[in-house]
Structure 1
Amino acid sequence: MKIIIQRTKSASVSIENRTIGTIHEGLVLLVAFNDDDTEEDLKYAVNKIINMRIFADQNDRMNRSLIDIRGQILSISQFTLYASTKKGNRPSFTEAGNPQTAKQWYDTFNDMLREREIIVQTGEFGADMQVQLINDGPVTIILDTQNK
């Protein structure tokens, strides 16, 4: 499981000019799965994401978590995080998970975040989406559950 974590002031996702998800302060997550992922990987990622201290405290130091600020999440499926560019000019996506399994993991991952009382908005798995965000900082972090 690979996740790009972006701290944001606000974000939204649209399909065919129709907004399907909007958040205010929080995180945009670009999420990809592969066939080696397990439920333990999802649990690990959820705990890391909601407890990661990347929001400013009163001294302007990154010392507060998503939970601390009562932030929201916009979760976007993005299989292209598993792109391999080793050969030629066209990326290979053979390391990306089987779409049916990946969709199940994506839904489970988002449900696990919601179980922690986080407001989660999502894109649509497999759709052509347009994502807009105001990256705060910018703060962008890569989380790979295969490299704990």
Structure 2
Amino acid sequence: MKSNVVQHQTDIRADIMLIDEMITLNQEGLTFYNQAMTYVEDYNLKRIFSTKANIHQRMLRRFEQLRPLSSEPLHGLSHTIPVTYTQATKLLHQCHISQAMAALVVIEQQVLTQMKQAVRQAHQPQLANQLAEGAAWLQISCDGMSSLNPG
């Protein structure tokens, strides 16, 4: 009996770590896309960046709602998120739009891969459903971004 309780607590901690990772990932994406809209003049890019920011904001809100209020932050225990928008930001600043878009497609594929991995790691069905829904949103927006940047 005690091992079931311990396993349940371990599963809960693992899910909290996943939620924390998804919160961080979406905060980073939201910040980047809100800033990126100010770097471009093209209407289609502004629209795509706005859509991406909205997706990250929506997911951020949902993951924050899943996070138990009583849980302390697990800083240092979660995995380091390797996604970074730094290169894309530099390219946008330098007005290398096609290179920035190519970098963003790679970054968004990394984010999508992380979301899909998190779906498989989640223990709570509600968390798995939120992750799967977020992955679907990201997949649709990645497809749109890829189609805008051929090659």
Shared topology, TM-score over 0.5?
Answer: no
- Tell me which protein shows more strand as a share of its residues: 1
| TM-score category, normalised to shorter length | under 0.3
- What TM-score do the two structures reach when normalised by structure 1? 0.27
- What TM-score do the two structures reach when normalised by structure 2? 0.27
Q: Which has the higher contact order (CA 8 A, sep 6+)?
A: 1
Point out the structure with max Rg over C-alpha.
2
- Tell me which protein shows more helix as a share of its residues: 2
